[in-house]
Amino acid sequence: MLIDIVTIFPEVARAPLSESIMGRAIDSGLLKLRVHDLREWTTDRHRKVDDEPYGGGPGMVMKPEPFFRAVRELRSGGGGATKVVMMTPGGRRFEQAIARSYAAAPGVHLIVLCGHYEGVDHRVTEALVDDELSIGDYVLTNGALAAAVFVDAVVRLLPGALGDERSSEEESFAVGEGLLEAPCYTRPAEFEGMPVPEVLLSGHHGKIAKWRAEQSRSRTQQNRPDLIGEPESPH
């Protein structure tokens, strides 16, 4: 999978995507990641990427010209189908199902654009962007952080990215009907008076599977009742 990230903070995106599973995916050739500084596509000596908003208001808006130049150049050098994703608080909420849909098309060249300041000139979205994504109902300092989350969530689902393919099938949002994962334990069997549930030590796979399913639903009801259509309990 080829992914280009365009941001004014390239190290913010590059650092977390060079470690652990992402680093191994790059080393193995499963992922080709290119992180670019948007300023590479400016033409003035100050490498300016923002300007004052039309209509007034606080802050600065990112200019369209560098984004247009970046996408056009990266598209020409990517080969095959290209999809442009904008990380923005105004996008649709990024969820596991969306990550799976992107991972199911590893041959698609992804170009991920990252906003900053008060946002990006809307003509970029209108003319270039195929998908607007938000990783949550909050605002970050810049979109590079969100881009790293998006790429990590997608790439870890590619065949061969994880050591055991069952890992992605048994975790939260992939369990049953999108429920949270059941609690997990490891050695020692007892720690500071807290024992591992006896069923997990029984070796009875049927009972263990039933326990995990029950715990998964119980944990979802407690922490994310919205996933099973139940109102969230007050704290």
pLDDT, tens only, 118-134: 899 999 999 999 999 99
* Residue 175 pLDDT grade (very low, low, confident, very high; cuts 50, 70, 90): very low
Among 128, 155, 182, identify where a domain stops: 155
- Answer yes or no: do 69 and 97 share one domain: yes
Q: Can you give the pLDDT at residue 83?
A: 97
**12, 112 in Cβ contact below 8 A?**
no
Claim to verify: residue 7 and residue 118 sit in the same structural domain: yes
User: Six-digit token pair at 105?
Assistant: 């098309």
Q: Is the pLDDT of residue 50 over 60?
A: yes
Average pLDDT for the chain: 91
Whether 134 is in a domain gets the answer: yes
Q: How confident is the model at residue 231 (pLDDT cuts 50, 70, 90)?
A: low
What whole-number distance in Å separates Cα of residue 110 and Cα of residue 113? 10
Say how far apart CA 84 and CA 78 lie, in whole Å.
Answer: 12
User: Does 141 lie in the same domain as 78?
Assistant: yes
Q: Are residues 191 and 75 in the same domain?
A: no
d(CA 130, CA 84): 5
- Domain's final residue, options 155, 188, 203: 155
Q: Is residue 178 located within the same domain as residue 149?
A: no
Q: How far apart are CA 115 and CA 145, in angstroms?
A: 10
Q: With H, G, I as helix, E, B as strand and everything else as coil, classify residue 143.
A: helix
Is residue 92 assigned to a domain? Answer: yes
Q: How confident is the model at residue 78 (pLDDT cuts 50, 70, 90)?
A: confident
Residue 200 has pLDDT above 60, yes or no: yes
Residues 218 and 151 in one domain: no
Tell me how far the alpha carbon of residue 169 is from its chain's centroid: 17
pLDDT for the residue numbered 171: 55
Examine the domain organization and report whether 179 and 150 are in the same domain.
no
The pTM score is 0.86
Our count of domains for the chain comes to: 2
**Of 70-79, 171-180, 195-204, highest mean pLDDT:** 195-204
| Same structural domain, 50 and 142 | yes
In a domain, 163, yes or no: no
In 3D, which of 34, 40, 44 has the Cα closest to residue 4?
Answer: 34
93 with 200, same domain: the answer is no
Residue 209 has pLDDT above 50, yes or no: yes
Residue 145, SS3? helix
Residues 106 and 214 in one domain: no
pLDDT digits (tens, 9 = 90+) for 3-48: 999 999 999 999 999 999 999 999 999 999 999 999 999 999 999 9
Task: Return the CATH number at 211.
Answer: 1.10.1270.20
Domain assignment present for 161: no
Residue 169 has pLDDT above 90, yes or no: no
Of 121, 155, 189, the residue that ends a domain is 155
Q: Is the separation of the CB atoms in 227 and 220 below 8 Å?
A: yes
Asked if residue 165 belongs to a domain, the reply is: no
The residue-averaged pLDDT of 163-173 equals 55
Instruction: Look at residue 167 and tell me if it is in a domain.
Output: no
pLDDT of residue 117: 85
CB 6 within 8 A of CB 34: no
On whether residue 164 sits in a domain, the answer given is no
Nearest CA to 229 out of 178, 169, 171, 182 is that of 178
Percent of the chain, pLDDT > 70? 91
Exposure string over 124-152, b if 16+ CB within 10 A, otherwise e: bbeebbebbbbbeeeebebbbbbbbbbbb
* Same domain membership, residue 130 and residue 22: yes
Query: Which residue range(s) make up the domain with 45?
Result: 2-155
